[in-house]
Structure 1
Amino acid sequence: MENWTNAKLCDVANLILGAILLFSPWIFEFDAGKVTQNAAITGIVIAVLAIAALAAFAVWEEWLNLIVGLWALVSPWVLGFQGTTAMKVHVTIGILVAVLAAIELWIMSHHPPRLTASR
């Protein structure tokens, strides 16, 4: 499939974004507590989903990435850390992850993988 390369690039980008979010509490010196926990857990989930998608693509992984990206986007308001550097990092990474997941879902809907062996 010719668009498989684009999907893998999106997954690699998500892996990098997940790692950035995971390490962002130390990079940007977030307050300890729920902000740091949210960044670490959300970053790990994004990275694990990206690794799973790189190993064996499945549409459900992209739907989960979309959901986790949207969580990162809204979590500053849900958890009450708006107006901070942590908010900017979460919102930025959340938007990027959600957009990349939406792009991959769009690619797969327009160019679905073949279920039979190609000749």
Structure 2
Amino acid sequence: MARQTSRQRWQDWANLVLGIWLVLAPFFGVGMTGDVAAWNSYVLGVLVAIFAAAALARPQQWEEWTNLVLGVWLILAPFVLGFTDQAGPTWNQIIVGLLIGADALWAALAPAPRRVSQ
């Protein structure tokens, strides 16, 4: 029986943590908890965390590419949704979007994890 090595992709773990951060950020003073910036943070955080967890459980390329698209959306969202007047949420989503996008692209382009036999 083959199993994945204990060395899983750290990028997926990082994106899982970043997704959780996006959900929690409005409660830590990074924006208001009920405005469009917060809702974007909640929804994208849940989606990023789901796709990162799926990539950890059963790695597929589409999960990485999906998180890359979500990272790009996070970068564009302050401008598209019009909350650039809120510095905290704007910078949080741009920086986290860059990190998620970079992690996802790195994982998508990396060689597949090796499997070992038991």
| Cα displacement string for residues 4-25 of structure 1 (whole angstroms, at most 9, x for unaligned residues) | 83x5211100000001111111
Q: Find the aligned partners of 2:102 and 2:28 in 1 and give their Cα distance.
A: 24
Corresponding residue for 1:60?
62
Q: 1:3 to 1:78 in 2, by over 3 A?
A: farther
Q: Find the aligned partners of 2:70 and 2:23 in 1 and give their Cα distance.
A: 13
Corresponding residue for 2:107?
104
Corresponding residue for 1:51?
53
Corresponding residue for 1:36?
38
Q: CA deviation at 1:66?
A: 0.2
Higher relative contact order (CA 8 A, sep 6+): 2
Structure 1: gaps spanning 5 or more residues: none
Question: Number of residues paired by the alignment?
Answer: 113
Structure 2: gaps spanning 5 or more residues: none
Q: Find the aligned partners of 2:93 and 2:66 in 1 and give their Cα distance.
A: 17
Q: Secondary structure at the match of 1:30?
A: coil
Q: Which has the higher strand share?
A: 2
Moved more, 52-61 or 32-41: 32-41
Provide the TM-score with structure 1 as the length reference. Answer: 0.84
**Moved segments of 4+, more than 2 Å:** 2-5, 111-114
Q: Find the aligned partners of 2:22 and 2:103 in 1 and give their Cα distance.
A: 15
Q: CA deviation at 1:113?
A: 5.9
Q: Secondary structure at the match of 1:81?
A: coil
